């Protein structure tokens, strides 16, 4: 049966590198900590003195509080209207717009708030400097607990000049905002921004996501970084050869003639597929690792893949889909983002092994 192996020691190695800069860390642990297991990840990070966490999900925010107690800070990216829960669990709330404050003023009196500048993401937050000023003034006038200022870069992993433009705008807006209000917490940088620029002078915290779990957020071979970071991938995915089939020239294997042999050859059937959360774009036509050698994947099915092999392969051999040698970021050009590939890993069908 295919295996998902999670190595929490690698998460420690990654974060220790990020802690070498002078800024504190807000660890992004949304979506079950990028599918690496929320409880184990936050416990691991807390042991190495990370005490600030961010997620999009109120249930996850509550779970972090229940796991780690009152010694940590928890920020909820998404706007939330369950104000009793926010107050009870001391969860910092995001301000999506000024109407959120006006409509719920009394309910927000005892809740720590963070002001989002929407920038180029435009999902929520103040859209321009005027709205930022309006929110700050409203909070001051009504004695709301405005704690933080944050933003997010839509183009930090792109190198077409748009990141430089949005960075200039975000910093201009913040540098004006700080003249009229002193924020306790300022976090603007995701993993890609931090890797590209190091930590901004203006921020109190960096806010890494994918770097915590051992992946480059962009292609560092073509585009340089300003910090030293060696990714230790937090997980590996492995399967096994369960059958070997000899195909004659012109014979097919898999659904709808998904592979037709161009000559007589032997192929391996492996017990993993897209039903286990391995994206078809990652598998079909790409490679896997068997006995330290890369082999081409010919066909992908829900529970199986077909691999082009040679005489060195036997039934029962281990087949590696992701590992430190086959890092997830190598497949971004086929599968979009690292986080997308991680998010779909299927805990219900994969065996799970944890290394602490």
Q: Say what the pLDDT of residue 19 is.
A: 85
CA distance 217 to 219: 7
Residue spans of the chain under pLDDT 50: none
Q: Say what the pLDDT of residue 122 is.
A: 76
Q: How many other β-carbons are positioned within 10 Å of the β-carbon of residue 239?
A: 24
Q: Say what the pLDDT of residue 119 is.
A: 78
Q: Say what the pLDDT of residue 5 is.
A: 98
CA distance 233 to 217: 12
Catalytic residue numbers read 30, 255
3-state SS record for 258-322? CEECCCCEEEEEECCCHHHCCCHHHHCCCEEEECCEEEEEEEECCCCEEEECCCCCCCCCEEEEE
Q: How many other β-carbons are positioned within 10 Å of the β-carbon of residue 35?
A: 21
- Complete domains list, the chain, with CATH: 8-213 (3.20.20.10), 235-355 (2.40.37.10)
Nearest 10 degrees: CA dihedral of 253, 255, 256, 260? -20
**Region class of 214: left (phi > 0), else alpha (psi between -120 and 50), else beta:** left
Average model confidence (pLDDT) across the chain:
94
**78-82 contact pairs (CB < 8 A, 24+):** 78/124, 79/124, 82/58
- Residue 203: which of 45, 23, 49, 19 has the closest Cα? 23
CA 345, 347, 351, 354 dihedral sign is: positive
Q: Say what the pLDDT of residue 186 is.
A: 98
Q: Say what the pLDDT of residue 221 is.
A: 83
- Residue 320: which of 352, 355, 293, 351 has the closest Cα? 293
Q: Say what the pLDDT of residue 224 is.
A: 80
| φ, ψ dihedrals at 199, nearest 5° | -80, 135
């Amino acid at each position: 049966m295919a295996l998902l192996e999670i190595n929490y020691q690698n998460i420690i190695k990654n974060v220790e590198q990020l802690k070498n800069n002078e800024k504190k860390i807000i660890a992004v642990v949304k979506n079950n900590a990028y599918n690496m297991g929320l409880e184990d990840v936050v416990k691991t990070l807390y042991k190495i003195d990370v005490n600030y966490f961010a997620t999009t999900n109120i249930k996850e925010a509550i779970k972090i509080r229940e796991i780690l107690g009152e010694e940590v800070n928890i920020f909820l990216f998404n706007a939330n209207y369950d104000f009793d829960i926010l107050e009870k669990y001391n969860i910092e709330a995001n301000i999506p717009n000024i109407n959120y404050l006006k409509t719920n003023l009394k309910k927000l009196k005892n809740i720590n708030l963070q002001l989002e500048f929407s920038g180029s993401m435009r999902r929520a937050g103040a859209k321009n400097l005027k709205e930022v000023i309006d929110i700050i003034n409203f909070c001051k006038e009504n004695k709301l607990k405005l704690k933080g200022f944050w933003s997010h870069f839509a183009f930090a992993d792109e190198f077409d000049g748009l990141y430089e433009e949005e960075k200039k705008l975000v910093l201009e807006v913040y540098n004006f905002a700080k003249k009229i209000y002193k924020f306790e917490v300022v976090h603007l940088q995701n993993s890609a921004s931090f890797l590209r620029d190091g930590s901004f002078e203006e921020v109190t915290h960096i806010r890494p996501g994918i770097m915590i779990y051992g992946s480059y957020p962009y292609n560092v071979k073509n585009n340089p970084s300003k910090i030293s970071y060696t990714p230790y991938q937090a997980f590996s995915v492995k399967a096994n050869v369960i059958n070997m089939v000899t195909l004659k020239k012109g014979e097919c294997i898999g659904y709808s003639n998904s592979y037709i042999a161009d000559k007589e050859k032997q192929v391996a059937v492996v017990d993993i597929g897209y039903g286990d959360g391995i994206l078809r774009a990652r598998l079909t036509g790409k490679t896997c690792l068997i006995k330290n050698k890369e082999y081409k994947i010919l066909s992908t099915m829900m529970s199986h893949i077909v691999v082009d092999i040679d005489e060195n392969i036997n039934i029962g051999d281990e087949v590696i889909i992701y590992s430190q040698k086959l890092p997830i970021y190598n497949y971004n050009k086929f599968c979009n983002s690292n986080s997308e590939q991680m998010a779909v890993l299927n805990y219900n069908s994969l065996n799970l092994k944890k290394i602490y």
